[in-house]
């Protein structure tokens, strides 16, 4: 084990880990290394649909909101790849998803601190206030070739999220994986690799309500109607609701709204997060309208479009059927059930934070909430010593800023402030025009006291 001691070891090189690496790179007082189990940077390859755009402006790149002069900005990427003028003429704030992936790969290729094919299995105390990060070194096909260890003062964990399915669908997916004759059951995260088999099945049912479900529906309905493949879409949501994108709502992706969110009880936070789904779990309004326009066009001239779109409808069960799958559907308002037959299922059922078991060796050194989940403080530190930091999966403690690409640089700047003991990048503490919570100043007498109480 080399005795070299890093200032920072980053675990996970998705957009949030890569952003931290890019912001750490120019800092002479930060010796850092970043580890990822993958072969190289890859951002949601299964959903790299032609023409899909990211849901945030280009300024939400890896670095600009922390350092607009950074050489690793999206504009620098466009300049370096000869696309700046066409982007300028294009006059759209939102890059293509494939372009964002290319941009991240362009940044990754320039950073000497990234180590791929490293799966971190444990973070332990190493004595003298240091931490030891143990990683498996992976070969082709994920074979474990050996292990390596890194000593460090700080660890930043940005392991992101992994596809998740409700139990009935994940059981069906296992059956389908074991017996391909059953008909494909795949998560949207693997959509592009399964697209052909879904279309060839002749009848696909999409389950889910968000952007991914809508993008897959839009893609399949076009090709499906050409090939005569039936495409149905089932969602529990009361409607195909659009992502909320109005400016005063976007101000909630801010440090001051995070402070309000953090001042609430876990129970209130959970209720609030459920009520805020439209802020980042809906469908872009343009896509909702594009789907309607596509159905309008495909049905012109009285043509039959082989599709059913169901809202308020939960999938209560999935079982093998003679020619594929039988889904038990239940209507949320009517309370009635029906059996829906299909030959393939696309589960656009979202993502859940990846396990943080690799931190278990640190035991009760880490803060946890009532549900035992790691609970970072305002500056994303999981431990009182401020050496273990969590980035990107802290929605339960920080709210809507957690998954937002645009907030990545602010969060990375907070971590680098703790690593360096100074503020290498200025962190705005107030960005919104509105005030979240009640303004300071004279507390009104307990207004809630009833008149009767006063008169009593
Ligand atoms: C299809 C899709 C589109 C999205 N579009 C947007 C958008 O437009 N705008 C927006 O704001 N948000 C968007 N999001 C949400 C969010 O920004 C992304 O999920 C983003 O990828 C989160 O980045 P991350 O770095 O936290 O995690 P990830 O991208 O999941 O990266 C985590 C990395 O950690 C690595 N890792 C995990 N465990 C280990 C381990 N033990 N050892 C080593 N490496 C490990 C993984 O290999 C992975 O590379 C989108 C999400 C999806 C699914």
The answer, yes or no, to whether any atom of ligand 1 lies below 6 A from the CB of 10, is no
Cα 276 to Cα 285: distance, rounded to the nearest angstrom: 16
pLDDT at 101 over 90: yes
User: What pLDDT does 442 receive?
Assistant: 61
* Ligand 1 center–CA 41 separation, angstroms: 10
User: What pLDDT does 1 receive?
Assistant: 47
The answer, yes or no, to whether any atom of ligand 1 lies below 6 A from the CB of 13, is yes
* Ligand 1 center–CA 256 separation, angstroms: 24
* Ligand 1 center–CA 354 separation, angstroms: 10
* Ligand 1 center–CA 31 separation, angstroms: 24
Instruction: Assign domain 5-160+354-420 one CATH number from 3.20.20.150, 3.90.79.10, 3.40.50.10680, 3.50.50.60.
Output: 3.50.50.60
User: What pLDDT does 189 receive?
Assistant: 98
Pocket test for ligand 1, best of 11, 40, 159, 391 (most atoms within 8 A of CB): 159
The answer, yes or no, to whether any atom of ligand 1 lies below 6 A from the CB of 17, is yes
* Ligand 1 center–CA 186 separation, angstroms: 19
Question: pLDDT over 70 for what percent of the chain?
Answer: 96
pLDDT at 137 over 90: yes
What CATH superfamily classification does 164-238+300-348 receive?
FAD/NAD(P)-binding domain (3.50.50.60)
pLDDT at 441 over 80: no
* Ligand 1 center–CA 18 separation, angstroms: 10
Query: Tell me: the pLDDT tens digits for 54-81?
Result: 999 999 999 999 999 999 999 999 999 9
List the structure tokens of 35. 């580890």
User: What pLDDT does 455 receive?
Assistant: 47
> What is the average per-residue pLDDT within 147-151?
97
User: What pLDDT does 451 receive?
Assistant: 47
Q: Domain residue spans in the chain?
A: 5-160+354-420, 164-238+300-348
The answer, yes or no, to whether any atom of ligand 1 lies below 6 A from the CB of 405, is yes
Fold: same for 5-160+354-420 and 164-238+300-348: yes
Its pTM surpasses 0.85: yes
* Ligand 1 center–CA 165 separation, angstroms: 17
Residue nearest to atom 49 of ligand 1 (CA): 14
Pocket test for ligand 1, best of 9, 10, 13, 14 (most atoms within 8 A of CB): 14
Query: Tell me: the pLDDT tens digits for 335-386?
Result: 999 999 999 999 999 999 999 999 999 999 999 999 999 999 999 999 999 9
User: What pLDDT does 18 receive?
Assistant: 98
Under the banding of pLDDT at 50, 70 and 90, the label for residue 50 is: very high
Pocket test for ligand 1, best of 19, 45, 160 (most atoms within 8 A of CB): 160
The residue among 426, 362, 375, 417 whose CA lies nearest residue 7 is 417
The answer, yes or no, to whether any atom of ligand 1 lies below 6 A from the CB of 161, is yes
The answer, yes or no, to whether any atom of ligand 1 lies below 6 A from the CB of 119, is yes
* Ligand 1 center–CA 97 separation, angstroms: 13
């Amino acid at each position: 084990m080399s005795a070299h001691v890093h200032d920072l070891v980053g675990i996970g090189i998705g957009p949030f880990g890569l952003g931290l690496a890019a912001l750490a790179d120019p800092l002479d007082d930060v010796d850092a290394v970043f580890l990822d189990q993958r072969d190289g940077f890859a951002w949601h390859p299964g959903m790299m649909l032609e023409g899909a755009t990211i849901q945030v402006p280009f300024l939400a790149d890896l670095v600009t909101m922390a350092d607009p002069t950074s050489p690793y900005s999206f504009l620098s990427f466009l300049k370096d790849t000869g696309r700046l003028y066409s982007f300028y003429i294009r006059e759209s704030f939102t890059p293509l998803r494939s372009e964002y992936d290319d941009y991240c790969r362009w940044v990754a290729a320039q950073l000497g601190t990234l180590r791929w094919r490293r799966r971190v299995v444990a973070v332990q105390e190493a004595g003298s206030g240091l931490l030891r990060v143990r990683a498996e070194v992976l070969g082709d096909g994920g074979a474990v070739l050996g292990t390596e260890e890194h000593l460090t003062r700080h660890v930043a964990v940005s392991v992101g999220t992994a596809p998740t399915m409700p139990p009935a669908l994940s059981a069906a997916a296992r059956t389908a994986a074991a017996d391909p004759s059953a008909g494909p059951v795949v998560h949207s995260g693997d959509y592009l690799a399964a697209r052909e088999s879904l279309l060839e099945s002749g009848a696909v049912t999409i389950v889910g309500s968000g952007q991914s479900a809508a993008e897959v529906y839009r893609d399949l309905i076009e090709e499906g109607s050409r090939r005569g493949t039936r495409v149905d879409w089932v969602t529990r949501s009361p409607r195909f609701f659009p992502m909320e994108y109005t400016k005063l709502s976007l101000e909630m992706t801010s440090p001051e709204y995070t402070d309000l969110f953090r001042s609430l009880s876990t129970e209130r936070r959970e209720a609030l997060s459920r009520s805020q789904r439209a802020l980042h779990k809906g469908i872009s309004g343009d896509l909702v309208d594009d789907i309607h326009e596509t159905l309008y066009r495909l049905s012109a001239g009285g043509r039959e479009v082989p599709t059913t779109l169901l809202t308020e409808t939960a999938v209560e069960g999935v079982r093998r059927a003679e020619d594929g799958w039988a889904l038990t559907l239940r209507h949320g308002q009517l309370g009635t059930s029906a059996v829906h037959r299909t030959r393939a299922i696309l589960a656009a059922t979202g993502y859940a934070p990846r396990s943080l078991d690799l931190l278990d060796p640190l035991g009760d050194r880490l803060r946890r909430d009532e549900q035992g989940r790691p609970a970072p403080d305002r500056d994303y530190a999981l431990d009182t010593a401020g050496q273990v930091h969590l980035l990107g999966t802290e929605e339960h403690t920080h709210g809507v800023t957690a998954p937002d690409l645009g907030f990545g640089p602010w969060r990375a700047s907070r971590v680098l402030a703790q690593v360096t003991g100074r503020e290498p990048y200025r962190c705005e503490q107030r960005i919104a025009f509105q005030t979240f919570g009640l303004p300071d100043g004279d507390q009104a007498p307990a207004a809630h006291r009833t008149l009767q109480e006063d008169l009593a």
